[in-house]
Amino acid sequence: MAAMMPGKVEVCCLIGDPVEHSLSPLIHNTAFRKLKLNFTYIAFKVSKNELKKAIEGLKALNVRGINVTIPHKTEVIKYLDQIDCRALEVNAVNTIVNYNGVLKGFNTDVAGILRTLEERKISVKGKKAVIMGAGGIARAATYALAMEGAREIIIANRTLTNAVKLARELKKSVKVKVRTLPLTVKALKTELKVSDMVVNCTPVGMSPHTDKTPIPKELLHEDLVVMDAVYNPLRTRLLREAEEVGARIVDGLSMLIYQGAEAFKLWTGREPPINSMRRAALRVLRGENW
């Protein structure tokens, strides 16, 4: 926890369900402490039917900033006063800023993905990508890749109707070729052979189910960039097997740190200490201290 100094303490928080294993309190409190800011960050478990009350309560308590996670990223939009245009396009808010009682929603997941691609010098321009999942982070990933000039995006999801809905919304705001598929081995087999990139935006492989993978190893190949939004564990079975076949891999930690960094800037107006945030998260992930 950040050491509090006398005077006004600015409060930031996470709302979602579940939130128990989130690394956001750790990375933000590490950054507040490092910059000696009188801020603190806490996680609140908020169920679907308590969302409206939670937002009203946080506004009344004058919290400075809110991060929003599963399952509220889209639902929360209707309780906010203003929405940033990117969040509106993506139809998902993961960061809220309280400007003197006016709550404005932003999407920093898209920026988190774009900065991760930039950091790794991965260009998606003219490339074909498969996104597995159609939830909050899949939404951000499809927009990020479309905005960066991907040639074609395939959304593969367990519930096909959710993929179709996301594809329809994406096509409305970005000019990109989009198709949808059920998340089955048969469907993935044909697409992955001719794809440049695949992003896992499902929780498959996440702790404690670390023996699971969304793609059988035999479908992976060395010409793929394989990204996993899951960051616990850091090296998922998908990433381990992708590395074994010679594919380029990107774990979920950079996305997490960079989306947090963008939120931090919005709340504090300061550049966050990225390396301290990353080191703190790595210590916990490597220690499996959950």
Catalytic residues, which ones? Answer: 73
- Which of residues 59 and 87 has its CB atom nearest to ligand NAP in the complex? 87
Q: Is there a cis peptide before residue 216, judged by omega within 30 degrees of 0?
A: no
User: In this chain, which of 90, 117, 181, 206 binds ligand NAP, going by CB under 6 A?
Assistant: 206
158 binds ligand NAP (CB under 6 A): yes
137 binds ligand NAP (CB under 6 A): yes
- Which of residues 220 and 256 has its CB atom nearest to ligand NAP in the complex? 256
Greatest pairwise CA separation for the chain in angstroms: 61
- Which of residues 9 and 44 has its CB atom nearest to ligand NAP in the complex? 44
User: In this chain, which of 91, 142, 157, 268 binds ligand NAP, going by CB under 6 A?
Assistant: 157
Nearest-CB residue for ligand NAP: 135
**Residue 48: exposure state from Cβ atoms within 10 A (0-12, 13-18, ≥19):** exposed
Positions 164 through 183 that interact with ligand NAP (CB under 6 A): 183
Spatial separation of the C-alpha atoms in residues 78 and 249, rounded to whole Å: 37
Residue in 280, 287, 286 with CA at minimum distance from that of residue 23: 280
Q: Which residues of 60-72 are buried (b: 16+ CB within 10 A; e: fewer)?
A: eeebbbbbbbebb
**Segment contacting ligand NAP (CB under 6 A): 7-15, 188-196, 201-209, 282-290?**
201-209
Q: Name the residue with tokens 């910059």.
A: 35
Residue in 139, 144, 142, 146 with CA at minimum distance from that of residue 175: 146
On the CB side of 200, CA atoms within 13 Å amount to 28
- Which of residues 154 and 255 has its CB atom nearest to ligand NAP in the complex? 255
Minimum distance of ligand NAP from residue 284's CB (angstroms): 14
**Segment contacting ligand NAP (CB under 6 A): 1-9, 167-175, 188-196, 224-232?**
224-232
User: In this chain, which of 37, 176, 201, 274 binds ligand NAP, going by CB under 6 A?
Assistant: 201
User: In this chain, which of 135, 233, 272, 273 binds ligand NAP, going by CB under 6 A?
Assistant: 135
Residues that contact ligand NAP, how many (by CB under 6 A):
27
- DSSP secondary structure string for all residues of 77-117: GGG-SEE-HHHHHHT---EEEEETTEEEEE--HHHHHHHHH
134 binds ligand NAP (CB under 6 A): yes
User: In this chain, which of 70, 85, 185, 194 binds ligand NAP, going by CB under 6 A?
Assistant: 70
Q: Are 150 and 178 in contact (CB under 8 A)?
A: no
Strands, sheet with 128-132, edge to edge from the N-terminal-most edge strand: 177-182, 152-157, 128-132, 197-200, 225-228, 248-250
Minimum distance of ligand NAP from residue 162's CB (angstroms): 4
Site of interaction with ligand NAP (CB under 6 A): 70-71, 109, 112, 133-138, 157-159, 162, 183, 201-204, 206, 229-231, 252, 255-256, 259
